[in-house]
Amino acid sequence: MSSTRQPAPPRPTSRDVARAAGVSQATVSLVLGDKWRGRVSAATAERVRGSARDLGYRPNLAARSLRLGRTRTALLVVPALTNEFFARVYTGAAAVAAEHDFGVVLYPSPDGTGPARDPFDPARAALDGVIASSMAADALGALRGADLPLVMLDSDPGDRRAAAHVNLAIADGMRQVTDHLLGLGHRRIVHLASAVDTWTFAVRARALEEAVRQVPGAALHTVTAPLDVRAGREAAEAVLASPGPLPTAIVCDDDILAAGACKAVRRRGLRVPDDISVTGYDDLALATAVEPELTTVRLPAEQVGERGMGALLAVLEGRPAVHHDLPVHLVVRGSTAPPPAA
């Protein structure tokens, strides 16, 4: 017995949406192209969006691009795909992009430390703008020369070559860490700093130095390490093997380095936090996977991506893209305590 395949139902069109919403096709185009403000009432816009959802309508982006001369595609450049923070930035950016019928292409720059290969040839014509997150200073040459709108995240706000900036209150986060440790009574502090030369890590270092300098009797020693657990452990082991009194606290530039520092403390036969307190930064999943769980600074990574995509859309539409720094918060867990009695 033969069966006849039923033809697929026709794909809903903008004309179908217009008919269902009781508006013109031009109005549908304005609303779904996010160009309705000042031209269509909010109630009408919501009715059009509701009709599109009910019908399962999806705009033909290829056809729209041909009409507009734009591809509605943004490039998000990140230092690495292995860091959870940047995955969350992408999630936020992609969510806002989808609301505006944009796509986001993710592009990694090797470790964020050296120049990325130029992603713009032959793709230059296929992009509307670029969002670059936490990039090293020498990794942005190709981006700045691409003749595309550039939004920089977690980067130097004084760099005027970007069309817009979205930043976190990075210095405040490090001040929260330092105030917490100094308040517990710590005076011998080691800064396990990232070896990557970026604005965000430079800001952390300055904030830590300034806070420690203001407290009589407090001392700070800085060592650097690449951003991985093994490098963090080895750098911390070298500090703990040095002559002189041991530090009572190790402040790390991120949670990955902090995990390495905790391993170094244990390998020396010491305990976290009884003998040495350890802090991280970022509040990655790793922060609660180690034991004791890390005291660290929580960064709203998805919000960074959302704001970054929103800023790019504003630039493309000729609107101002002005944002205040996103607040960050210290999360106190088991890796910090008062220093041992002298």
DSSP conformation letters of 231-242: HHHHHHHHHHTS
135-139, 158-162, 261-265: which has the minimum mean pLDDT? 135-139
Structural tokens at position 257: 């380095």
The pair of three-digit structure tokens given for residue 231, joined into one six-digit string: 């490098």
> Which of 37-51, 170-184, 211-225 is the least confident region?
37-51
Q: Which two tokens stand for residue 220?
A: 């700070």
Residue 179, phi then psi, degrees to nearest 5: -60, -40
Residue 121 has pLDDT above 80, yes or no: no
Contacts of 114 (CB under 8 A, 6+ apart): 136, 138, 139
According to the model, what pLDDT value does residue 28 have?
A: 80
> Would the pLDDT of 235 be above 70?
yes
Mean of pLDDT values over 135-158: 71
Bridge partners of 11, per DSSP, are none
The answer to whether the beta carbons of residues 315 and 130 sit under 8 Å apart is no
Instruction: Read off the pLDDT of residues 147-189 as tens digits, 9 standing for 90 and up.
Output: 678 899 999 888 877 889 999 999 999 999 999 999 999 999 9
| DSSP string for residues in 323-338 | -PPBP-EEE--TT--P
pLDDT at 271 exceeding the cut of 60:
yes
- pLDDT surpassing 90 at residue 30: no
The pLDDT tens digits for 297-339 are 999 999 999 999 999 998 888 888 777 899 999 999 999 999 9
pTM of the model: 0.76
Give the range with max mean pLDDT: 68-72, 148-152, 273-277. 273-277
Give yes or no for residue 81 having a pLDDT over 90: no
